[in-house]
């Protein structure tokens, strides 16, 4: 009467198993799409970038400025402007972002935090074209030109301040996450030793969240260097720029160089290697931000693992 | 000798007293807290100044034009120029993004979370996705220029723009947001506890059956939150569109143009209109029309963000 159960009974309906395999294959293909995109980016950029670097006169890479339509491809001009603008942005955003993060995480009441954090996230969602417009029409005339009366309407200073506004909420939200991830027991231990709240924040919470905080700063730096619209609209220098360290001069970053070449009247046809130079600059930017992001991701993983 | 000892005792007592009262008359902790608060207030203050400035400048246009500013198309005349063309463009781009990036992105997240074994290859894919999310948007513009514009031309949809049309823009934007869709979907799927899956497996369901009937219903609100935020991103991006040849000047399709002609012809998007008006030579465009376009753009984004926050609050399920 008793019937023994065999493995055939347990493996289930072959139709169900076939369907299972098909579904799995579909999901796998979707997973591979992301890899395909990164491969496409590298192929798309490096082909033309190689053509540029192999055909360009090496002397043209280190001249006095970036004027691709005249055959002058001074890469340092772009790098100096990129670092300068990102640096000004960080000078504004680091104290504001970290201060806001520490207050939200350590001092604000839970209710206030629930209201304020989404607002910060909305601030982080303001499109860069809006901040670019505002940097051009408000920051430049109302702040930069008032403080520095000699400043022109288009300056790297105005663009840098605009970039600072852009990355402040990014630093604030990511750092706040890192500070909140510090276990309460560490704070309690500090209070138990008689430390005040400010001492606890400075000597316990901050060091414990350091890797997350640093990750947020690197992420912000990468965003600042990759930001296009603010710089393109507020730093001026459409068509080209002279090499300068003066933030009160117009300047062109790597991103703005790509954007302005691409929106020129002849639409990335240009002369000589102008079209190829776009991809070389793009590849450079890709590699810089990629390395910054991987450092940041690694740091985030480290603090996630610790607590 | 004894006097010194007493004064030392006094000093010690004062020190201990001060330490116990956590600072007592010490102003430094308060100043520290004040500085942090100042940073927070400044961050929000900037937002307030920005919004006030934009709305003040936009007010004359909003008052004079009312809703017709939203329903009028591009024009060289500041009296009649509106943002309708841009809204249509942005909606089409967002639709292509939804059609391409959402199914691929959510499926990729399901694969990475539910199917993929935890090995080197999976971690490599995971790292790649996270790094892709941080690639500057303008690089995606270059990708579109080198790959998707020729692709659209190759499949015969180049139209009058030779591939620099809204189809290429939609594909480029889909590639841009794909990593973000994957990451937010992974977070949502990961928050579904293993016990829910085990319940499904326990009654003999296959992996796909567990995903469809157990994981997805629980993860869906979280995934939706992510996708709505992604749409907001697609609505606000400008730089990649500039690289792949969005129209920054005036254009108008012929009155009798077919839908295909319109889709493959010149196009613009809402944030691109802000950019192109800010560079117009006629002062009215930069002075008040561009701020008014920003107001429209921000309203769309705030609505999308509001929807996402609402979804997130609904999704916050305690297991």
Mutation site, B239, B242, B273, B290, interface A, largest A CB count within 10 A: B239
Q: In angstroms, what separates the C-alpha of A95 from chain B's closest C-alpha?
A: 7
* ipTM score for this prediction: 0.88
Provide the pLDDT for residue A306: 66
The answer to whether residue B156 sits within a structural domain is: yes
Q: Which of A16, A125, A226 sits opposite B305 (nearest CB)?
A: A125
The domain in which residue B179 lies consists of 64-315
Q: Mean pLDDT per segment of 10 residues, for chain A of length 307 residues?
A: 68 82 90 84 88 84 81 88 95 96 93 87 87 93 88 90 94 92 92 89 91 91 94 81 84 89 59 81 93 86 68
Residues of B in contact with A104 (CB under 8 A): 40
Chain B nearest CA to A226, separation (Å) = 5
Residue of A nearest to B102 (CA): A30
- The domain that contains B297 carries what CATH number? 1.10.3720.10
Say what the pLDDT of residue A120 is: 85
pLDDT at B319: 56
- The residue count of chain A comes to 307
Cβ contacts of B177 within 8 Å, gap of 6 or more: B97, B101, B105, B230, B233, B234
Instruction: Find the residue in A nearest to B269 (Cα).
Output: A129
At residue A72, the 3 state secondary structure works out as strand
Determine whether the interchain pair A258/B112 forms a contact, defined as Cβ–Cβ distance below 8 Å.
no
Could you tell me if A198 and B32 are in contact, meaning their C-beta atoms sit under 8 angstroms apart? yes
Asked if A35 and B128 come within 8 Å (Cβ–Cβ), the reply is yes
**CB–CB of B146 and A132 under 8 A?**
no
Q: What is the DSSP letter of A67?
A: E
Residues above pLDDT 90, as percent of chain B:
46
B144 inside domain: yes
Chain A CA closest to residue B103: A30
With CA atoms as reference, the chain B residue closest to A219 would be B134
Q: Does B57 have pLDDT greater than 80?
A: yes
Contact yes or no for A34 and B179 at CB 8 A:
yes
* Exposed/middle/buried for residue B66 (C-beta within 10 Å: 0-12, 13-18, 19+): exposed
| pLDDT for the residue numbered A122 | 78
Cα–Cα distance, B176 to B236 (Å, whole number): 12
Question: What is the rounded CA–CA span in Å between residue B130 and residue A115?
Answer: 28
One DSSP character per residue, chain B reads -HHHHHHHHHHHHHHHHHHHTTTTT--HHHHHHHHHHHHHHHHHHHHHHHHHHHHHHHHHHHHHHTTHHHH----SSTTT--SHHHHHHHHHHHHHHHHHHHHHHHHHHHIIIIIS-SSHHHHHHHHHHHHHTTS-HHHHHHHIIIIIHHHHHHTT--GGGTT-SHHHHHHHHHHHHHHHHHHHHHHHHHTS-HHHHHHHHHTT--HHHHIIIIIHHHHHHHHHHHHHHHHHHHHH--HHHHHTT---S-----TT--HHHHHHS----HHHHHHHHHT-SSHHIIIIIHHHHHHHHHHHHHHHHHHHHHHHHHH----
**Residue B81's pLDDT is what?**
84
Which has the higher per-residue pLDDT, A221 or B313?
A221
Chain A residue numbers with beta carbons less than 8 Å from the beta carbon of B130 are 293, 297
Contact with chain A for residue B47, Cβ under 8 A = yes
Give the per-residue pLDDT at B34: 92
* Candidates B39, B149, B291, partner chain A, best to mutate (most A CBs within 10 A): B39
Q: Which residue in this structure is represented by tokens 């990451």?
A: B183
Mutate one of A86, A104, A121, A133 to test the B interface: name it (highest B CB count within 10 A): A133
DSSP assignment string, A114-146: HHHHHHHHHHHTS-HHHHHHHIIIIIIIIIIHH
Asked whether residue B29 is domain-assigned, the answer is: no
Q: Find residue A241's DSSP bridge partners.
A: A66
Picking from A26, A99, A119, A166 by the largest number of B CB atoms within 10 A of its own CB, the best residue to mutate is A99
B84 to chain A, closest Cα gap in Å: 18
Within 10 angstroms of residue B316's Cβ, the number of other Cβ atoms is 10
Question: From CA A139, how far away is CA A234, in angstroms rounded?
Answer: 9
Domain assignment present for residue B84? The answer is yes
DSSP alpha helix (H) spans, chain A: 7-11, 14-55, 75-102, 110-124, 128-134, 145-147, 156-180, 184-192, 197-200, 206-208, 210-226, 229-234, 254-262, 274-306
Confidence band for B67, pLDDT divided at 50, 70 and 90: confident
Residues of chain B in contact with residue A23, where contact means CB-CB under 8 angstroms, are 207-208
Euclidean distance between CA atoms B296 and B89, whole angstroms? 14
Which residues 51-70 in chain B show a CB within 8 A of chain A?
53-54, 57
Q: Do B125 and A35 touch (CB under 8 A)?
A: yes
Minimum Cα–Cα distance from B296: chain A residue: A130
Cβ distance B85 to A200 under 8 Å?
no
The predicted pLDDT at position A65 comes to: 82
The whole-angstrom distance between A67's CA and the closest CA on chain B is 18
Look at chain B and report how many structural domains it folds into: 1
Contact call for B43 and A286, based on CB within 8 A: no
Q: In the prediction, which pLDDT does B1 show?
A: 46
Q: Each residue of A220-265: pLDDT tens digit?
A: 999 999 999 999 999 876 667 778 888 888 888 999 988 888 776 4
Cβ-defined contact of B248 to A227 (cutoff 8 Å) = no
Best of B20, B31, B38, B40 to substitute, by most chain A Cβ atoms within 10 angstroms, is B40
pLDDT score, position B78 = 82
pLDDT reported for residue A268:
47
Class of domain A60-306: mainly alpha
Q: Is the distance from CB of B144 to CB of B240 less than 8 angstroms?
A: yes
Q: Who's near B233: CB < 8 A, 6+ residues apart? A: A125, B176, B177, B180
For B234, nearest residue in chain A (alpha carbons): A127
pLDDT band per the 50, 70, 90 thresholds, residue B97: very high
Residue B213 contacts A, CB cutoff 8 Å: no
pLDDT bin (cut points 50, 70, 90) of residue B64 is confident
Which residue on chain A is closest to B232 by alpha carbon?
Answer: A125
The two three-digit tokens of residue B6, written as one number: 């007493």
pLDDT at B25 (0 to 100): 60
Let me know how long chain B is: 319
How many Cβ pairs within 8 Å bridge chains A and B?
271
A11 SS3 class = helix
Contact residues on chain B for A294, CB-CB shorter than 8 A: 127, 131
Partner A, chain B 166-195, Cβ-Cβ below 8 Å? 175, 178-179, 182
Short-list A213, A273, A254, A236, CA closest to A69:
A273
The CA-to-CA distance between both ends of chain A, in Å, stands at: 58
In a domain, B10, yes or no: no
Cβ-defined contact of A100 to B248 (cutoff 8 Å):
no
Nearest to B29 among A97, A197, A296 (CB): A197
Q: Which residue of B has its CA nearest to A236?
A: B279
Interface contact B39, partner A, CB < 8 A: yes
Segment 86-145 of chain B within 8 Å of chain A by CB: 103-105, 107-108, 110-112, 114-116, 125, 127-143, 145
- Say which DSSP state A181 is in: T
Q: How many CB atoms lie within 10 A of CB B262?
A: 17
Q: What is the DSSP code (8-state) at residue A207?
A: H
**Neighbouring residues of A162: CB distance < 8 A, sequence distance ≥ 6:** A89, A131, A132, A134, A135, A139, A230, A234
Residue B238 at interface with chain A, using a CB cutoff of 8 Å: yes
The answer to whether residue B210 sits within a structural domain is yes
């Amino acid at each position: 009467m008793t019937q023994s159960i065999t493995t055939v009974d347990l493996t289930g309906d072959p139709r169900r198993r076939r369907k299972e395999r098909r579904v799995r294959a579909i999901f796998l293909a979707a997973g591979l799409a992301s890899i395909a995109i990164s491969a496409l980016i590298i192929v798309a950029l490096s082909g033309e970038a190689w053509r540029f670097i192999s055909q360009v006169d090496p002397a043209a890479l280190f001249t006095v400025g970036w004027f691709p339509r005249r055959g002058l491809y001074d890469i340092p001009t772009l790098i100096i402007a990129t670092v300068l603008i990102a640096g000004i942005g960080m000078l504004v955003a680091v104290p504001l972002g970290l201060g806001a993060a520490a207050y939200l995480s350590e001092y604000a009441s839970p209710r206030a935090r629930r209201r304020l954090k989404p607002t910060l996230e909305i601030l982080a969602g303001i499109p860069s074209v809006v901040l670019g417009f505002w940097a051009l029409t408000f920051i430049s005339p109302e702040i930069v030109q008032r403080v520095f009366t000699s400043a022109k309407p288009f300056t790297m200073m105005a663009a840098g301040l605009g970039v600072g506004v852009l990355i402040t909420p990014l630093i604030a939200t990511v750092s706040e996450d890192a500070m909140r991830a510090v276990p309460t027991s560490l704070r309690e231990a500090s209070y138990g030793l008689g430390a005040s709240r400010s001492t606890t924040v400075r000597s316990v919470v901050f060091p414990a969240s350091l890797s997350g905080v640093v990750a947020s700063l690197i992420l912000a730096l990468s965003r600042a260097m990759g930001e296009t619209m603010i710089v393109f609209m507020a730093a001026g220098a459409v068509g080209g720029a002279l090499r300068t360290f003066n933030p009160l001069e117009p300047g062109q970053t790597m991103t703005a160089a790509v954007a302005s070449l691409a929106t020129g009247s002849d639409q990335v046809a240009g002369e000589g290697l102008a079209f190829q130079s776009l991809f070389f600059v793009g590849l450079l930017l890709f590699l810089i931000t990629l390395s910054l992001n991987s450092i940041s991701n690694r740091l985030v993983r480290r603090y996630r693992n610790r607590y | 000798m004894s006097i010194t000892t007493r004064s030392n005792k006094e000093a010690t007592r004062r020190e201990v007293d001060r330490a116990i009262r956590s600072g007592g008359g010490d102003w430094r902790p308060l100043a520290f807290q004040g500085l942090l608060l100042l940073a927070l207030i400044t961050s929000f203050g900037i937002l307030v100044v920005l919004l006030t400035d934009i709305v003040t400048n936009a007010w004359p246009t909003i008052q004079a034009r009312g809703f017709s500013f939203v329903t009028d198309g591009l024009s060289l005349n500041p009296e009649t120029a509106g943002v309708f063309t841009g809204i249509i463009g942005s909606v089409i781009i967002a639709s292509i993004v939804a059609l391409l990036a959402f199914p691929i992105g959510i499926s990729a997240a399901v694969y990475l979370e539910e199917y993929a074994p935890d090995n080197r290859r999976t971690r490599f894919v995971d790292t790649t996705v996270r790094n892709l999310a941080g690639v500057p948007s303008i690089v995606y513009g270059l990708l579109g220029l080198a790959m998707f514009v020729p692709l659209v031309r190759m499949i015969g949809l180049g139209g009058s723009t030779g591939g620099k049309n809204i189809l290429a823009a939609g594909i480029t934007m889909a590639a841009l947001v794909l990593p973000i869709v994957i990451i937010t979907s992974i977070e949502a799927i990961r928050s579904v506890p293993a016990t829910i899956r085990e319940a499904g497996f326990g009654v003999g369901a296959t992996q796909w059956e567990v995903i469809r009937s157990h994981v997805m219903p629980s993860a869906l609100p979280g995934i939706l939150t992510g996708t709505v935020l992604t749409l907001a991103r697609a609505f606000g991006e400008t730089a990649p569109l500039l690289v792949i040849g969005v129209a920054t000047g005036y254009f108008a399709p012929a009155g009798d143009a077919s839908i295909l002609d319109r889709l493959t012809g010149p196009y613009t998007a809402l944030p691109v209109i802000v950019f192109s008006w800010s560079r117009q030579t006629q002062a009215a465009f930069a002075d008040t029309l561009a701020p008014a376009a920003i107001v429209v753009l921000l309203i769309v984004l705030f609505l999308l963000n509001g929807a996402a926050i609402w979804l997130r609050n609904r999704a916050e399920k305690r297991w």
